[in-house]
Structure formats: structure tokens, C-alpha cells
Structure 1
Amino acid sequence: MEISARNGIKGNIADVKLGEVMASIKIEVTEPGVITAVITRESAEELDLKEGDEVKAIIKSTEIMVAK
């Protein structure tokens, strides 16, 4: 996968909470520990995010995205 964002942290999904529209994805990382990304439910389902999945947290100035 090629993207222009350069601020990425690898981690594993610790928890997925699906709401009606949004999803909260908790990601365990070595440093600083755990970060949480809030993404749309549709995105969480399209990526088929599950606890234990290895992902990369992509950090933009205004948000944290999830890539798999």
C-alpha cells in the first residue's frame, strides 16, 4: 500500500467498538503504549478489523486513520 502520510506507528488491534455510524479502534503499540482511532463503522467493517490484527496507525495533523 502506498500513501503520502509519513507518520505511521505499527500495532495490534486491542479492541473494536462498533457504533451505529462510527467505530472506535484501540491499537496496542510498543511506544507510547496504546492509541485509539475513531473511524466510521463502514471503514471498520470494510477493513474487517478484529482484535489481534496487525495494523498501522496513520497519523495526520487532524486525525488518526487505520490501514491494514
Structure 2
Amino acid sequence: MRLSARNQIKGTVVEVKKGATTSHVRVDIGGGQIVTSSITNEAVDDLGIKTGSKATVVIKASDVMIAVD
């Protein structure tokens, strides 16, 4: 598959936490870094995502915000 998004990081799924309609998928991208994505439960099921699965994190955003107290 080819995508226009250039921010693609390969990793391994370390946790899938399902809620009522949405899952939080945690992906270890190496170096002790974890990226968390919030996707539908249907997407998790359709893609067969589970702990230990290989996955690619794709980040496509026009803004990146940071806030501090």
C-alpha cells in the first residue's frame, strides 16, 4: 500500500484496550517509545490487531500542539 503520509513508523502492538466503541492501541516504536492511537473497535477487528502484531503507525496532521502548565 502506498500513502501520501510521510510519517510512517514501524512497531509492535503492546496493548489493545477496548472500550464501548473505541479502542486504544499502544505501539512500541523502539527506544522505549510508545505511540497510542484511538481507533474504532470495528477497525481493530477488521485489521486483526492484537498484542504482538506488527503494525505501522501513520501520522498525518497539519498541526502538532504542545501545552505545559
- Normalised by the shorter chain, which TM-score bucket? 0.7 to 0.9
Give the gaps of 5 or more residues in structure 2. Answer: 63-69
Q: Normalised by the size of structure 1, how large is the TM-score?
A: 0.82
CA RMSD of aligned residues (A): 1.4
Which of these two proteins has the greater Rg computed from alpha carbons?
Answer: 2
SS in 2 for 1:57: strand
User: Gaps spanning 5+ residues in structure 1: where?
Assistant: 63-68
The CA deviation string for residues 9-36 of structure 1, in whole angstroms up to 9 with x for no partner, is 1000000011111110000011461110
| Corresponding residue of 2:25 | 25
In the aligned structure 1, how far is the partner of 2:46 from the partner of 2:20? 15
Report sequence identity in percent. 32
Count of residues in correspondence between the two structures: 62
